[in-house]
Structure 1
Amino acid sequence: MKFMLQCMSHTPLKGYFDPSADVVNEVAGCIRAVRQEVERFDPEVIYLFAPDHFNGFFLDLMPQFCIGMQATSVGDYATPVGELDVPRNVAESCAESVIGADIDLAFSYRMQVDHGFTQSLIELTGALDRYPVVPIMLNAVAPPLSTLSRARQLGIAVGNFARGQKKRVLFLASGGLSHNPPIPSIATATDREVIERLIAGRNPTSEARAARQQRTVNAARDFVAGGSVLHALNPGWDLEFMGHLCQKGWEAIDAYTNEQITAEAGASTHEVRAWVAAAAAIDAACRGSWSAKQNYYRAIPEWVAGFGSLSGSGTVQ
């Protein structure tokens, strides 16, 4: 059985506030190469680990981990609205197996996913529904957050299940690296409208979504101009983290604390728990017999992101 890992940063600012054409083309070249790898691999199922940004999950009930038995894209930023091709029987069996491994996994038969899931899916496969996809959300925006160690344990449980399915599997992670976009927090919000949006802001009007997106673009412009309070990007942190994953440095990964991540790399860097879960999944599926490589890294202020990509592969009998 063959397994592939792809971890890719995402950013909602693509096409809204871009860096120079050289950088845009450089990133596009990386994505094109990874997409070709995926097409050659031709996965029979994708396990997609990704965060949400208060578009599908809210504080009226926020799980740390949630698997979708059905999923719909909300179509934020430049991503399309539509259904993901979720194989319900596989997702249900995966949930049962993961919960049986003592991971408290929530599940949804009406999951809504945003660009955190769909941007990488579109860029690396060309469509929301080209391949069967099992979507797994990891909370990265609403403290209290699980630890990276717990995200790794989730990945192990998914990887063990996937190995037993005897299919050609792509473990895909979307999110990170260092960044700190202007996502409001219930701890500091004072405006009643903002608080209500955090608690139960599903299905906003097109005007409300456009206004939210414009606030993100404006914040990126301020960030580049140097007039922002957003956390600086941290290439050193990003490269060290990617190195730990490529080297299977699980002890080092488990040692990261949520407080350190926020302080050193920014509040939204917690999206890297998706990378940890996906890497742990291929490690478990291959019983440790796999290899990984860093494809790309650049700190891109216009996108308010340390933008990276890494790939891995392994085979088991």
Structure 2
Amino acid sequence: MKYYAPEGMKRQLEAICSRIPNAFFLNVHCIPGEGCAVVSFNSNETAAAVMFMVNSANTTGAAGNSVASSSVNVIPATEAHQQLLWGPLMERVKKLEEKWRVWHAAYVAHPPHTIRQAWTDAKARGLRLEEELRRLTSNEDIKEGAEVAEGAAAPPSEERLRRKLQLLQERLECKQIIDQTEGQMQELYPEAHAQYLKTGPMEATYSTSKANVSNHRRLIFITDLPCRLDDAELLQFFQILDLQPVHVWRDPTKETSVCVEVPSVGHSFAVLRQLDGSGMRFCGAFFSRDRVVGGRK
């Protein structure tokens, strides 16, 4: 298409797409040196409709007579031009996918709900050991005081010494578990590990929203998730893509499909635009503003 500055180009595209049902553009890459821009649309049908509309208006006068071609012309993008548009997007998605793989490997090795369970158990056990140590030490002090008063202080019994040593060793083990689990949780949630340790779930959960959809245009349908993801996995999957879910509904008929409502219509487009270069896929999952059966490109 004819070259405009990026914002002007987007306004032109919005005006064109508003005249075509279910049409919208995704990304624009302007090439000033060539006097053109590369544009991606939501479907091949939209691209064909835009091409027909612009080229028809370009070559036909108001009375329907053929006129000389103007500088505006729409043609299919070459592979080189497609690479200019989609190449940077694909590279960014690859980096985000690697970020997910690293996080998910750490998650599978040490799920946060098992980390919290181990941390909570170690904390409680440590407190019980501390209390027993205090009682043991207190009893020794009382007995030693009585024996001193009688002038016949005796050394602590071997049994009490063994028990005290055992308690100290077990307390050390608890501290090691606490330190280890805190490190594991920090690896998963660097900014919020303390919160997850104190208030996170004790088991994997698979919840679904009970709310009604407030705006269908803010929905994103996701199919072909890598596996059945629990709530913690799903939220991290969304966070990496900056999805900012308002509500999440799980498909009761397919455990790898969910529907997400995002904060605004504009945000739904922002999510799809970043996946434009990877065919609307992230780690195999397919994203769409329309409900689909299975995945597509």
Same fold (TM over 0.5): no
Which has the larger Rg? 2
TM-score of the pair, normalised by structure 1: 0.19
Query: Whose relative contact order is higher, 1 or 2, with alpha carbons under 8 Å and at least 6 apart?
Result: 1
Q: Larger % of helix: which?
A: 2
Which has more strand, going by share of residues?
1
* TM-score for the superposition, normalised by structure 2: 0.20
